[in-house]
């Protein structure tokens, strides 16, 4: 099968970009001819049946980058033939639109609730938000797809609520995770290495956050909640975001900002639990990575991953990220060694249902549905 995958760029610390890279490699391993259309991509070491095509775009600001990328992909792809064109970005020529970034209108709605007058004014005056909303509306209302992949029921509900797409056009396919790279056995291999690197004691309780875009993904709420926890803890923040803004919330607890990390599996191995108090997350591969690594997960109901986590079994789901006291309470519960171990075991069991193999199988079923004569 000749498959085109569209995604603006690849960065090793970007969840959606990293997932796109992993799926591309998996499709190639299955014997398909895969063509990547992107502005930039790490093409080193790609198999011969993966082909990278550079999409021309003006990249000095996000508005022009997204606009010119969308126009360029439309002009390029409509002149070429593929069995399937799957876009992981907001573009206007595709068979499958994978809504991996969720609905921008829903993210704005959730952020709007949590900011004051000046913040709302900046939203209204930001042309980038209007561009993305316009593109999003053109895709959904203009039916510029044959099928939509929603990466969670949350995303499906958002699309139905805001754009009234025919429910039959949406297929929910959860993300997959590398069950070998992210494994509880990594704890024996890498825990000491990472803890020594950051001067963390062997018996210190480590809370891990992984994600770029600290505001949307709730680092503020994690740091505020950690200050409510009565026992000393260490918070590891891995990813890209405004460290300066977050430091104002640190008082008594130790917080280490590690920046983006290529060997992220080692950081899961060095941690005790994973906390992701997001205000909007379509799914978040980091949840699966943590579960696969045997870490109990605390997240919010505003994350699509909350749909797969059973309360008190693999972790906890809180209603809103600003529920600081409840978040602190859940962290404290998991400081009990027996509960942490039991939930960590269940976390790994849950993750084993979300392999890349399962994801590819469901995706290929969708491809075959589109290619079969009606």
Q: Which long-range contacts (CB under 8 A, 24 or more apart) does 256-263 make?
A: 256/198, 256/200, 258/198, 260/11, 260/12, 260/13, 260/212, 261/13, 262/12
Comparing CA positions, the residue from 250, 287, 252, 336 lying closest to residue 175 is: 287
Residue-wise pLDDT for 131-179, tens only, equals: 999 999 999 999 999 999 999 999 999 999 999 999 999 999 999 999 9
Cα angle for residues 219, 101, 110 (degrees, 5° grid):
55
Contact 275, 208 (CB under 8 A): yes
Rounded CA gap, 55 and 8, in Å? 8
Q: Which of 245, 240, 239 has its CA nearest to residue 220?
A: 245
Give this prediction's pTM: 0.93
Q: Is the separation of the CB atoms in 205 and 231 below 8 Å? A: yes
Q: Tell me the average pLDDT across 226-242.
A: 95
Question: What is residue 17's predicted lDDT score, i.e. its pLDDT?
Answer: 56
Q: CA 324, CA 37: separation in Å to the nearest integer? A: 42
Q: Are 264 and 238 in contact (CB under 8 A)?
A: yes
What distance, in Å, lies between the first and last C-alpha atoms of the chain?
19
Neighbours of 249 (CB within 10 A): 17
pLDDT at 201: 95
Kindly list the domain boundaries of the chain, sorted by start residue.
2-176+355-371, 186-351
* CB half-sphere exposure, 45, CA atoms < 13 A: 3
Predicted local distance difference test score (pLDDT) of residue 265: 97
**Candidate from 20-24, 33-37, 276-280, 305-309 with smallest mean pLDDT:** 20-24
**In sequence order, what DSSP letters do the residues of 185-204 get, joined into one string?**
THHHHHHHHHHHHTT--TT-
Q: Return the percentage of the chain with pLDDT > 90, whole number.
A: 83
Q: State which H helix or E strand residue 147 sits in.
A: strand 147-150
Confidence check: pLDDT of 341 > 70: yes
Eight-class DSSP state of 41:
-
Torsion 228-229-233-239 (CA) sign: negative
Query: Tokens 């949350």 map to which residue?
Result: 154
Asked whether 291 and 347 are in contact (CB, 8 A), the reply is yes
Q: Look at the block and give the residue holding tokens 């943590």.
A: 290
Please state the rounded mean pLDDT for residues 347-359. 94
Burial class of residue 184, CB neighbours in 10 A (0-12, 13-18, 19+):
middle
Token pair recorded at residue 318: 């809180």
Q: What percent of the chain has pLDDT over 70?
A: 96
pLDDT at 19: 66
pLDDT band, very low/low/confident/very high, at 258 (cuts 50, 70, 90): very high
The one-character DSSP state at 353 is T
**How confident is the model at residue 142, as a pLDDT?**
95
**Can you tell me whether residue 83 is helix, strand or coil?**
coil
**Given this chain, do its domains 2-176+355-371 and 186-351 carry the same CATH topology?**
yes
Structurally, at CATH architecture level, domain 186-351 sits in 3-Layer(aba) Sandwich (3.40)
In 3-state terms the chain splits into helix, strand, coil percentages (rounded to 5) of 45, 15, 35
**Mean pLDDT, range 56-63, rounded to an integer:** 94
The pair of three-digit structure tokens given for residue 170, joined into one six-digit string: 């949406």
At the second CATH level, the architecture of 2-176+355-371 is 3-Layer(aba) Sandwich (3.40)
Buried b (16+ CB within 10 A) or exposed e, 47-58: eeebbbeebebe
């Amino acid at each position: 099968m000749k498959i085109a995958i569209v995604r603006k760029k690849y960065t090793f610390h970007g969840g959606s970009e990293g997932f796109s890279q992993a799926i591309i490699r998996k499709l190639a391993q299955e014997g398909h001819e895969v063509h990547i259309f992107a502005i930039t991509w790490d093409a080193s070491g790609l198999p011969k049946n993966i082909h990278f095509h550079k999409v021309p775009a003006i990249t000095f600001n996000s508005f022009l980058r997204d606009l010119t990328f969308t126009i360029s992909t439309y002009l390029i792809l409509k002149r070429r033939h593929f069995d399937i064109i799957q876009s992981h970005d907001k573009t206007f020529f595709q068979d499958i639109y994978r809504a991996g970034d969720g609905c921008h209108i829903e993210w704005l709605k959730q952020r709007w609730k949590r900011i004051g007058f000046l913040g709302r004014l900046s939203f209204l005056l930001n042309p980038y938000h209007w561009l993305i909303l316009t593109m999003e509306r053109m895709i959904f209302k203009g039916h510029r797809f044959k099928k939509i992949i929603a990466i969670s029921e949350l995303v499906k509900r958002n699309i139905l609520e805001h754009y009234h797409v025919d429910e039959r056009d949406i297929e929910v396919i959860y993300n997959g995770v590398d069950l070998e790279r992210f494994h509880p056995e990594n704890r024996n291999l890498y825990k000491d290495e990472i803890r020594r690197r950051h001067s963390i004691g062997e018996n210190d309780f480590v809370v891990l956050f992984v994600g770029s875009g600290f505001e949307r993904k709730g680092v503020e709420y994690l740091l505020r909640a950690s200050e409510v926890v009565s026992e000393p803890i260490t918070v590891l923040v891995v990813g890209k975001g405004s460290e300066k803004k977050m430091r104002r919330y640190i008082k008594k607890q130790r917080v280490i900002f590690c920046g983006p990390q290529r060997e992220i599996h080692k950081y899961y191995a060095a941690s005790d639990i994973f906390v992701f108090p997001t205000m909007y997350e379509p799914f978040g591969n980091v949840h699966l990575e943590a579960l696969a690594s045997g870490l109990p997960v605390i997240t919010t109901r505003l994350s699509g991953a909350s749909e797969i986590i059973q309360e008190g079994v693999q972790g906890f789901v809180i209603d809103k990220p600003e529920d600081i006291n409840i978040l602190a309470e859940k962290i404290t519960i998991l400081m009990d060694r027996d509960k942490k171990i039991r939930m960590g075991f269940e976390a790994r069991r849950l993750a084993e249902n979300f392999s890349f193999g399962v994801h590819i199988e469901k995706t290929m079923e969708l491809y075959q549905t589109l290619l079969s004569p009606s």
